[in-house]
Structure 1
Amino acid sequence: MISKTVTSITILFAFFCFFQGNSQEIKFKGDPDVSFETARNLAFNKQRKQAQDTLMFILTKYPNYHDVRAFLATTYSWDGDYKKARSEFKYILERDSNTKSTWVAAINNELWSNSPFVALELSNEVLKKFPNDAEILYLKANAEENANHPQEALNIIELLLAKNPEFKKAIDYKETLLQKLRKNIIGFRSEVDVFSDVFDPFEYYTLKYGRQTKYGSMIAKINYDRRFNDSGIQYEIDLYPRISNGFYTYLNFGFASSDLFPNIRYGAELYKSLPKSFEASLGFRTLKFSTVTNIYTGSIGWYTGNDYWTLRTYLTPGDAGLSSSGTLAYRKYRKDANNFIGCSLGLGISPENNQFFILNETNSTIILKSQKFRVEYDFSSKSNKHIWGTQFGIIHQEKSFKPGEYFFMYTFTLAWELNFK
C-alpha cells in the first residue's frame, strides 16, 4: 500500500516538473515588430489586457526591446497600476538613460500617481542630460505645482517661455498658474429694483475684498442700501473653511446700525460632496431685527459635464406658521467657473435672500406669496484677471399691506471683480 502511494507521488512530481520545464521553454518566436504593432492596436482599442499579454510575451525573448517595455509600462499607468509601471521604467532607465521619451513617460507616471516629489527628482535628473528641454521643464513645473509650490512652477514656465515663446501648452499653463497665485480679490456690485407701482426704486451696493488661504477663502463686505428715502450700511464677513476633501462649511456674520438691515445676522451651512457628482448642504441663518428670525435652509446640487443644477429651500417659522420658499437654478459653464450663463425659478419669499422686505409686527402674521425668475451671465477677461457679471430678474410679489394684491419688481444687477496677487 505504501509502495503504491510513493509511486503515485513520484509520477505526479515527475509530471509537474515536466510541465514546468515545458512552460519555461515557451518563448516568443514571431516578428517582434509586427507583434508590437498588434499590441498597440489592441491597447488603443480598449483591449488593454490582451495588449499587455502580447507585450510581455515579446519580452520573454527580447527583454531589452525598450520600446516594448516602455509601452507596457505606459499601459500600466493608464490602468492606474503605477507601481508596476514604475518598476518597468526603472528597468529601462538603468540600461538606457538617453531616451527622452522614456523619462517623459516615467515622470508622467509619478505625476498621475500623485507622487510630485519623485517626479521632481526624475525631472532634475533628466535635465542634466537634456538641459532646458521645454517638455521636461513643463513636466517639472507640473510637479512643483502638485507639490504645492505654484510660484516655483511659474518661475519654471517663465524660463521655458523665454526660450520657447510659442510653446502653446506653457502659455496656457502660465495663465492657470497666474490665476491660482492671485489670492486676493476686490469687487463691486450694484443692484437696482424698479417697481410696477407703490414704491420708488431701491438701490443696493456692495464693496468686497476676498482672499484665498490654505484653510479656505474669506470675504469681507460693506453693503449700502438706499430705499424709502433712507439709507444704511451693513458690514459682513463670509468664511468658507475646508474640513477635508469634499467637505467644507459656510460661516457668516454681519452687523448694522440701520433699520434697513438686521442689527445682527449670522449663519452656518455644511456642504458635502456625494457620489455621482451630487452635493448636499444643510444650514441656518439668524436675523435679529426688533425680534429674532431663524431661517433653516438646505440644498442639493448636481454637476453633469459643464452643467450644474441646484435646488434650494428656505424654511422660516413664524406666527402665521411655516413660511417656505424654493429655487431651482441652472448654470451652463463655458471655459471655467468664471464663465457661465444661468437662470432660476422660484416660489415663496424669504428674508434671507430678499432683505428689502423686513419682518416686523405688521407682516410677520401673514405668509406672503411670491414667484420669481432670473437670468444671469458671467464672463472674464482672457487672463481671468477681470470678471464681470450681469443679472436680470422679475419678481411677482404679494403686497404685505394688501394681501391678495400683487406688484412686479424688476431687478438689474452689474458686478465686477479684480483678481490680484
Structure 2
Amino acid sequence: MIPKIGIKLTFVIAFLFSFPMFGQEQKYNGDPDSSFERARELAFNKQRKQAQDTLLSILTKYPNYHEIRSFLATTYSWDGEYKKARKEFATIFEKDTKNKSIWEAGIKNELWGDMPYPALEMTTEALKNFPNDPEILYLKASAQEKTNNQLEALNTIELILTQNPNDQKAKDYKISLNNALSQNAIGITSSVDIYSDVFDPMQYYALTYRRQTKYGSIIGRVNFNRRFNENGLQYEVDLYPKIAKGLYAYVNIGLSKSFLFPDVRYGLEIYKSLPKSFEVSIGLRSLKYSTTTNIYTGSLGWYTGNSYLAFRPYITPGETGTSKSGTFTYRKYRSDADNYLGVSLSVGFSPEINQFNINEDTAKFVDLKSQRINLGYYFTSTNKQNAWGTQFGVSHQEIIFDQGNYFWIYSVALSWELKFK
C-alpha cells in the first residue's frame, strides 16, 4: 500500500515541477529582420496588438535589438500608452545614447503625453550627443513652447536658422511663435450702409486695441457713427475671461451720450466646450435708451475639419411683441483662425444684429421682418503680423415707420489689424 502511495506522490511532485516549463514563454525562433518588417506592416495597417506581440516575441531572443524596441515604444505612443513607451525608451538609453532617431522618438513620446518638462530635459541630454542638431533643436523649441516659454523657443528656432536660413519648417515655426508672442493688436474698421430708399448712406468706424493675457483677452473700442446727418461716439470694452478648461465667458460694456447709441449697452455670455468638437453658449444683451431692451441669445457651434458651423437665435421682448430672429454662420478656414472665408444668413429683426439701423425712437419696434446675407474674406500677411478683412452684405428689411413696405440695404466693410509684442 505504502509503495503505491509513494509512486503516486512521486508522480504528482514530478508533474508540479514540470508545470512551470509548460507555462514558460516560448523563445523566438526566426529571422528577426523579416519578422520586424512584418510587424511594421501590421502596425501601419492598424493591427497594432498583433504587431506588438510580434515585436515582444523577437525581443525575447534579441533584447538589444534597439530599433525593434524603439518601434515597439512608438506603437505604444500611438496608442496613448506613454508610460509603457517611456519604459521601453529608458531600457534603450541605459545601453545606447548614440542613436539620434531613438532620441527623437523618445522626446516626441513625452510631448505627445503632455509631459513637456521631461521632454525638455531629454533634448538637453540629446544635444550633448548631437550638438546643434536641427531636428533635436526643433523638438526643444516645441518643449519650450509647451512650458509657456515662447521667447526661449524663438531663440532656439533662431539658432536653427543661423545654421540653415532656408529651413522652411523652422521659418514657419518662427512665424507661429512671433504670432503667439504678439499679445497686442490695434485695428481699424470702416463700413458703410447704402439704402435703396428713405435714408442717406450711414457710416461706421471703429478704432480697436486688443491685449491677450493669461486670463483671457481684453478689447477696448471707440465706435464712431454718422447717421441721420448726426455724429455719435460710443466707448466699449469686451472681455473674454477664462474660467476653467473648456469654459470661458464674454463680458461687454458700452457707454455713449449720443442718441445714435444706447446710453448703456452690456452683455454677458457663457461658453462651454462639448465632446465631438461642439460648443454651446447662453447669454444676454441689454440696450438702455429711455427704456431698456433685453435680448436673450445663445449659440450652438461645431468645428469639423477646417470648417465651423454655428446657429445663434435672438429672442427680444418688445412693446409690439416678441421678436424671434436667428443667424446661421459658416466659415472655411485656411492656414489658421485669421485666414478664412465666411458666410452668414440672418432672418428676423434684432437690435443686436441691426443695431446701427435703430435709435432711441425706434428701439422699441423690434417685431419687424428682415433677411440678410453677408460674405466675408479674411487673410493675413506672410509673417501673420497684419490681418485684413473684407465684407459685403445685402439686407431686405421692413421699414420701421411704414411696416409692410421694405427697402434694400447694401453694406461694405473693410478692416485692418496690426499685431505687435
Which TM bucket (shorter chain)? Answer: over 0.9
Matched, 1:125 2:122: no
- Which string of whole-angstrom CA distances, capped at 9 and with x for unpartnered residues, describes residues 127-177 of structure 1? 111111111111110000001111100000001110122222111111111
Q: Unpaired runs of 5+ in structure 2?
A: none
After superposition, residues 105-254 of structure 1 pair within 5 angstroms as 105-254=105-254
What is residue 408 of structure 2 aligned with on the other side?
408
Tell me the secondary structure at the aligned position of residue 72 of structure 2.
helix
After superposition, residues 24-63 of structure 1 pair within 5 angstroms as 24=24, 26-63=26-63
Question: How many Å apart are 1:363 and its aligned residue?
Answer: 6.4
Residue correspondence of structure 1 range 320-331 to structure 2 within 5 A: 320-331=320-331
Contact in 1 for aligned 2:259/2:360 (Cα 8 Å): no
- Tell me, yes or no, if the aligned pair for 1:251 and 1:269 is still in contact at 8 Å: yes
* Per-residue deviation, 1:375: 0.9
Q: Distance in 1 between matches of 2:6 and 2:225?
A: 100
| Residues 359/8 of structure 1: CA separation in 2 closer, same or farther (3 Å cut) | farther
Q: CA deviation at 1:208?
A: 0.1
Are the structure 2 counterparts of residues 117 and 343 from structure 1 closer, same or farther at C-alpha, using a change threshold of 3 Å? same
Query: What is the match of residue 255 of structure 1?
Result: 255
Q: Which deviates more, 36-45 or 356-365?
A: 356-365
Given that residues 397 and 408 in structure 1 are in contact (C-alpha distance below 8 angstroms), is that contact kept between their aligned partners in structure 2?
Answer: yes
Residue 90 of structure 1 aligns with which residue? 90
Task: Return the letter of the residue paired with 1:98.
Answer: K
Question: How far apart in 1 are the matches of 2:408 and 2:6?
Answer: 100
Counterparts of residues 59-70 of structure 1 (less than 5 Å): 59-70=59-70
The residue aligned with 2:419 is 419
1:228-271 Cα distance to aligned partner (Å, 9 max, x none): 11001000000001112211100000101111001111110001
Q: 8 Å contact 1:363–1:400 — kept in the other structure? A: no
| Change over 3 Å in CA distance of 1:11–1:188 after alignment to 2 | farther
Following superposition, the deviation at residue 342 of structure 1 comes to 1.4
Deviates more, 1:125-134 or 1:23-32: 23-32
SS in 2 for 1:97: coil
Q: How does 1:254-333 map to 2 (within 5 A)?
A: 254-333=254-333
Q: SS at 1:74's partner residue?
A: helix
Change (3 A) 1:196 1:88: same
Give me the whole-angstrom Cα distance separating, in 2, the residues matched to 1:44 and 1:300: 37
Residue 7 of structure 1 and its aligned partner are, at CA, apart by 10
Cα pair distance change 1:199/1:132, threshold 3 Å: same
**For the residues of structure 2 that align with 1:348 and 1:362, how far apart are their CA atoms?**
16
Contact 1:218–1:238 at 8 Å: present in 2 too? yes
In 2, Cα distance between equivalents of 1:97 and 1:121:
14
Deviations 1:2-36 (A, max 9, x none): xx999999877754542321342620111111111
Mean CA deviation greater in 93-102 or 364-373: 364-373
1:105 and 1:290 map into 2 onto residues whose CA distance is 66
* Percent sequence identity over aligned pairs: 59
TM-score normalised by L of structure 1: 0.95
- Using the TM superposition, give the Cα deviation of residue 56 of structure 1 relative to its aligned residue in structure 2, in angstroms: 0.5
Change in 2 beyond 3 A, CA 1:366/1:86: closer
**One-letter code aligned to 2:199:** F
Distance (whole Å) between structure 2 residues aligned to residue 417 and residue 295 of structure 1: 30
- Matched residue of 2:219: which SS? strand
Match for 1:245: what amino acid?
A: K
**Partner SS, residue 260 of structure 2:** coil
1:351 counterpart SS class: coil
Contact 2:262/2:359, CA 8 A, preserved across alignment: no
Query: Residue 137 of structure 1 contacts residue 156 of structure 1 at CA under 8 Å; is this kept in 2?
Result: yes
1:353 to partner: Cα distance? 2.2
Judged with a 3 Å threshold, the aligned counterparts in structure 2 of structure 1 residues 31 and 190 are, in CA distance, closer, same or farther, namely same
Give structure 1 regions of 4+ aligned residues with deviation exceeding 6 angstroms. 4-13
Distance 1:374 1:387, change over 3 A: same
Do the aligned residues in 2 keep the contact of 1:313 with 1:326 (CA within 8 Å)?
yes
The answer to whether the 8 Å contact 1:351/1:359 transfers is no
Q: 1:24 to 1:285 in 2, by over 3 A?
A: same
| RMSD across aligned positions (CA) | 1.9
Q: Equivalents in 2 of 1:375, 1:288: separation in Å?
A: 30
- For 1:33, the aligned partner's letter is D
Offset of 1:53 from its aligned partner? 0.4
Cα deviation for residue 44 of structure 1 reads 1.1
Q: Secondary structure at the match of 1:137?
A: helix
The question of whether the paired residues in 2 share the 8 Å contact of 1:311 and 1:329 is answered with: yes
CA drift of 1:98 comes to 1.1
C-alpha distance 296-235 of structure 1, shift in aligned 2 (>3 A) = same
Report the equivalent of 2:376: 376
- Residue-by-residue CA offset, 1:309-343 (whole Å, 9 max, x unaligned): 11111111112221111111111111111111111
- 3-state DSSP of counterpart to 1:95: coil
Q: Is this contact kept in 2: 1:363–1:401, CA < 8 A?
A: no
> How much does 1:350 deviate?
1.0
Tell me which amino acid in the other structure corresponds to 1:238.
Answer: D
Letter in 2 for 1:263: D
Amino acid paired to 2:353: N
Partners of 1:325 and 1:272 in 2: how far apart? 23
Q: Which moved more, 1:22-31 or 1:127-136?
A: 22-31
The Cα offsets for residues 193-251 of structure 1, whole Å up to 9 and x where unpaired, read as: 00001100000000000011000001000000001110010000000011122111000
Describe the SS at the equivalent of 1:416: strand
Shift of the 93–288 alpha-carbon distance from structure 1 to 2, 3 Å rule, reads same
Q: Secondary structure at the match of 1:162?
A: helix
Residue 337 of structure 2 aligns with which residue?
Answer: 337
Q: How many residues align?
A: 418
Matched position secondary structure for 1:69: helix
TM-score normalised by L of structure 2: 0.95
Matching residue's letter, 1:30: G
1:291 Cα deviation after fit: 0.8
Letter paired with 2:41: N
